[in-house]
């Protein structure tokens, strides 16, 4: 069965520092991968997605993610974090046949000034 | 703003009661998904409807049911409510392809007392 692991429950970074959030997936076929962000009291906003092609995908708000099949990973990165990036970040895999998203447990990002 | 609307924003009710959550998908989207976000279970897929028909089912309790109407809005009905049903319920919508991006609404926060 498909699954997503986000090993870091909580990460704190200083504003202006770089960020990497880890995501590992387990899925037999070619995965469709997503990163969503949830700000307090808000819904989920799509940051970026990977379906095929270039393994480095660019998203909104200056985020990017790299798909590494050999490591079953889809890590999210940002070169310079802003205080407004403080939120919870969810990695998800889409199972093509069922069209459902399977989410990781999320990583809460705290940004210190 | 994702274009997906959900009402109500908050709902407080008592155990044993029944509630209905409503979702209007983005204009043109045929698929509607329901997800539950709780502290102990995380984000879980409940059910998907496509153009009025149930397409996929996840970890949805028998006390819960959903439907999608001809105008494509959807309702999630939760009955015989228990304390453990307290959660954030998200609706998402997508286009006709199973791999289309799912756009999430702001959610309905249900509190069962």
Q: B26 contacts in A (CB within 8 Å)?
A: none
Burial class (CB in 10 A: 0-12, 13-18, 19+), B103: buried
In angstroms, what separates the C-alpha of B43 from chain A's closest C-alpha?
6
Residue B1 above 80 pLDDT?
yes
Q: Which residues of B touch A59 (CB under 8 A)?
A: none
Contact B101 A34 (CB under 8 A): yes
User: In A, which residues are within 8 Å of B99 by CB distance?
Assistant: 32, 51, 94, 96, 99
CA B94, CA A98: separation in Å to the nearest integer?
13
| Model confidence pLDDT, tens digit, residues B7-62 | 999 999 999 999 999 999 999 999 999 999 998 899 999 999 999 999 999 989 99
Burial A84-100 (b: 16+ CB within 10 A, else e): ebbbbbbbbbbbeebbb
* First CA to last CA distance, chain A: 41
Cβ pairs bridging A and B (under 8 Å): 54
**pLDDT over 70 (residue B105):** yes
Q: Which residue has the tokens 């999210």?
A: A76
Give yes or no for A6 touching B (CB within 8 A).
no
Q: Which pairing describes strands B108-112 and B10-13: parallel, antiparallel, or unpaired?
A: parallel
The pLDDT value recorded for residue A98 is 62
Considering all CA atoms of chain B, what is the largest pairwise distance in Å, rounded to the nearest integer?
Answer: 40
Is the pLDDT score of A23 beyond 70?
Answer: yes
Asked if A42 is an interface residue toward chain B (Cβ–Cβ < 8 A), one would say yes
Q: What is the pLDDT of residues B69-92, one digit of tens each?
A: 999 999 999 999 999 999 999 999
Q: Are residues B66 and B51 in contact, defined by beta-carbon separation less than 8 angstroms?
A: no
Structure tokens at B6: 């959900």
| pLDDT bracket for residue A97 (50, 70, 90) | low
pLDDT digits (tens, 9 = 90+) for A64-76: 999 999 999 999 9
């Amino acid at each position: 069965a498909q699954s997503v692991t986000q090993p870091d429950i909580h990460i704190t970074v200083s504003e202006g520092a770089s960020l990497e959030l880890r995501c590992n997936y387990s899925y037999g076929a070619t995965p469709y991968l997503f990163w969503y962000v949830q700000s307090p009291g808000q819904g989920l906003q799509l940051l970026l997605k990977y379906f095929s092609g270039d393994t480095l995908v660019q998203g909104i708000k200056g985020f990017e993610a790299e798909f590494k099949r050999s490591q079953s990973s889809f890590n999210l990165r940002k070169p310079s974090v802003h205080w407004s990036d403080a939120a919870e970040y969810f990695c998800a895999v889409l199972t093509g046949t069922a069209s459902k998203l399977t989410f990781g447990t999320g990583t809460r990002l705290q940004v210190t000034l | 703003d994702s274009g997906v609307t959900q009402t109500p924003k908050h709902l407080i009710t008592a155990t044993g009661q029944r509630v209905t959550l409503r979702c209007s998908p983005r204009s043109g989207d045929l698929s509607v998904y329901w997800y539950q976000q709780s502290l102990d279970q995380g984000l879980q897929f409940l059910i998907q409807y496509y153009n009025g028909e149930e397409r996929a089912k996840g970890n949805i309790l028998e006390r819960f049911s959903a439907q999608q109407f001809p105008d494509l809005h959807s309702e999630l009905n939760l009955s015989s409510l228990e304390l453990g049903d307290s959660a954030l319920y998200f609706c998402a919508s997508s286009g006709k392809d199973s791999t289309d991006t799912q756009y999430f609404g702001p959610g309905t926060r249900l509190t069962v007392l």
